Chain A
């Protein structure tokens, strides 16, 4: 299985919106609604912020939203705040109890 494809970087100014894509195949992203997103601040542990494509765990601001179209999932962050500056990773179920992650996207708040 190959890693999911994410852009290396994304950026936006405070208050703006930004969208990060995550492209896989019909064997992972396109085949299941089990896409999750993780936020990782430098030196910190990844934190689950989106699961099952669109759902947010308790405590995650509704500024974070997820979606999927075909083999591409997306994470959108609206009303950017300085604290949103972090690395973001997508992950997908890939069948047969296998999981795959994306290469990560560094989000910079300008």
Chain B
């Protein structure tokens, strides 16, 4: 059973860098598939942030591209997100998810989400 679990600080100061990690269990990232980050501000909708393939190829939401880094560590079976120069507008629940590209072409498995608040 594939499971994803986000981890990282729940509070980040304005102008600093938000860093999150998603640990994957029950599936080897090296096998393939794409992996992504999606966020949801309180009371609002979902927003795709970025995706990464196991090879390291990366793809970004154009509106966030200048501030986002996504990376994968196949040895630890995890992938990570960094969002720099954060503001209050970046306060959200951040989800990691598997972007399954063979059968569904959709985000088929999600982590539980982690709430990140940007505040001084």
Contact = CB atoms under 8 A, between A and B. Distances in A.
A52 B104 contact: yes
A1 B59 CA distance: 14
Contacts of B63: 1
Contacts of A109: none
Interface residues of A, number: 25
A100 interface: yes
B45 A99 contact: no
Interface residues of B, number: 26
Interface stretch (A13-21, A43-51, A78-86): A43-51
B79 interface: no
Interface string A19-39: 000000000000000101010
Interface stretch (B14-22, B80-88, B107-115): B107-115
Contacts of B111: 45
A96 interface: yes
Interface string B79-110: 00000000000000001000100011111101
Interface string B40-81: 000011111001000001010111000000000000000000
A5 to B, nearest CB: 11
Given A1-B61, A99-B48, A104-B45, 19 more contacts: A3-B45, A34-B105, A36-B106, A38-B107, A48-B107, A48-B108, A51-B104, A51-B105, A51-B106, A91-B107, A98-B48, A98-B61, A98-B62, A99-B51, A99-B99, A99-B107, A101-B47, A101-B48, A104-B44
Interface of B: 34, 36, 38, 44-48, 51, 57, 59, 61-63, 95, 99, 103-108, 110-113
